[in-house]
Amino acid sequence: MKVLIVGAGGREHAMAWKLSKSGRVGKIFIAPGNAGTSEVGVNVDITVDDIPGLIKFAESNRVDLTVVGPELPLTLGIVDEFRKAGLRVFGPDRRAAELEGSKAFCKDLLRKYNIPSAEYEKFTDAATAREYLKTAALPLVIKADGLAAGKGVIICRTQEEAERAISLFMEERAFGNAGETVIVEEFLEGEEVSILAITDGTTIIPLAPAQDHKAVFDGDKGPNTGGMGAYSPAPVLTPAMEADILENILEPTIQAMEDEDRLYTGVLYAGLMIKNGKAKVLEYNCRFGDPETQPVLMRLENDLFEVLLAATEEELDEVSLSWSNNSAVCVVLASAGYPEKYETGKKISGLEKLSGRTDVIAFHAGTKKVDGEVVTAGGRVLGITALAASTVDAISKAYSAVESIEWDGVYYRTDIGAKAIQKI
């Protein structure tokens, strides 16, 4: 079988790595890919939003399954177009992907179907939003409605911070049209956790839970990023809580989407806040998370291709997932300055020290090859992911490997997984 993976990040490298282990997968293409994906497949110079180009490639190369990584092509309707062309594709269609593409749509859906989430108001003009802020309880959270690469969320603890966020999103258009509508949301206290699930529209199967670290600095300080690290399992969740989340959040959401004539297939990624054993939805994403995918797939014992294929053929009810008892920890190495301005083109050294290892893998994100050398090409550059018998051992192993990697301006958090240790 031939597989096409759409995307260029750490998530796509992790998927390509896992799919390369399938006995049924003969060739893997990654569009556009990165320096790491080129080691497990063939990179294709087609951008993720060039849907006609991707369809033409899939047809001419007789691709059996296309797996869509990032959110942008999903919200642009790549799944709809692939299906029209008679091509098998894994992911939600355009109307279903609005669950991530519009936070206003998501919040309205959760409210309509009584799915636990924060209270909120939405605004389409800055003046009305500022008037509301005068009486709103602090702290609060202000979100851009549309896609903002994981950075369109600001926690505001003062009136001045809230007004600044409104200006940033709605007037300065820091994220373009994504800020035309903003959500002003109740601040939820607790501990954040991610649950990714695979669904064929009827059956929904949760993957092992993971915990992400979104803030750029240690201690969850500083602005949000796309994610600075993750670990799995997440001790904050008990089996009883996982069952409750499936029954009262994930399944009702899939049912709600069907009731709204938006049949949902693919990955449903729930960002949840846990407090006193109860979960509320912070947001939904419509694809595999990054960097959560890296530790989760290292723990998955199933053939990933078989699972994804079953989802596209509405046969998930025949699938049972198996997980390693080991823990996995991913530490993201970023370019200095990320998530703001940063330089690229820095030569990366030390990757050869991890070559051939199965317990520690350097999943590439913002990398490319120039004259045979691997150089930085993005904000989040590598995800050093380690598998070990315990979370403590996995953290130690990951950071030991991190010390092997160098480039001018490398930056990473030093406390990935610390929350997990406190729960043990």
Could you give the angle at the alpha carbon of 315 between the alpha carbons of 314 and 317, nearest 5°?
120
Fold topology of 327-423: Glycinamide Ribonucleotide Synthetase; Chain A, domain 4 (3.90.600)
- Which residues face 143 on adjacent strands? 153, 183
The class level of CATH for 191-318 reads: alpha beta
Per-residue pLDDT of the chain in tens (424 residues, 90 and over written 9): 999 999 999 999 999 999 999 999 999 999 999 999 999 999 999 999 999 999 999 999 999 999 999 999 999 999 999 999 999 999 999 999 999 999 999 999 999 999 999 999 999 999 999 999 999 999 999 999 998 876 788 999 999 999 999 999 999 998 898 889 999 999 999 988 999 999 999 999 999 999 999 999 999 999 889 899 999 999 989 999 999 999 999 999 999 999 999 999 999 999 999 999 899 999 999 999 999 999 999 999 999 999 999 999 999 999 999 999 999 999 999 999 999 999 999 999 999 999 989 999 999 999 999 999 999 999 999 999 999 999 999 999 999 999 999 999 999 999 999 988 876 6
pLDDT value at residue 419: 86
Q: Which residues contact 234 (CB under 8 A, 6 or more apart)?
A: 193, 194, 209, 210, 211, 420
**What is the rounded CA–CA span in Å between residue 255 and residue 58?**
32
pLDDT value at residue 423: 67
Backbone angles phi, psi at 120, to 5 degrees: -160, 165
Backbone angles phi, psi at 65, to 5 degrees: -150, 130
Question: Do 16 and 64 meet the contact criterion of CB atoms below 8 Å apart?
Answer: no
pLDDT value at residue 8: 98
2-93 is a CATH 3.40.50.2000 domain: no
Strand 120-123 relative to strand 182-186, pairing? antiparallel
Question: Do 132 and 156 meet the contact criterion of CB atoms below 8 Å apart?
Answer: no
- Closest Cα to residue 144, out of 110, 103, 106? 103
Fold topology of 125-180: Dna Ligase; domain 1 (3.30.1490)
Q: Is the pTM of this model over 0.85?
A: yes
Q: Which residues contact 175 (CB under 8 A, 6 or more apart)?
A: 144, 146, 147, 148, 151, 152, 169
For residue 140, how many other CB atoms are within 10 A of its CB?
23
Place of tokens 């001790």: 235
Task: Report which secondary-structure segment, H or E, holds 393.
Answer: helix 391-402
Question: Do 299 and 391 meet the contact criterion of CB atoms below 8 Å apart?
Answer: no
pLDDT value at residue 139: 96
- Closest Cα to residue 146, out of 168, 166, 176? 176
**Maximum separation of any 2 CA atoms in the chain, in Å:** 60
Question: Do 95 and 109 meet the contact criterion of CB atoms below 8 Å apart?
Answer: no
Place of tokens 């150089």: 375
Backbone angles phi, psi at 95, to 5 degrees: -70, -35
**What is the rounded CA–CA span in Å between residue 263 and residue 269?**
16
Residue ranges of the chain that CATH labels 3.30.470.20: 191-318
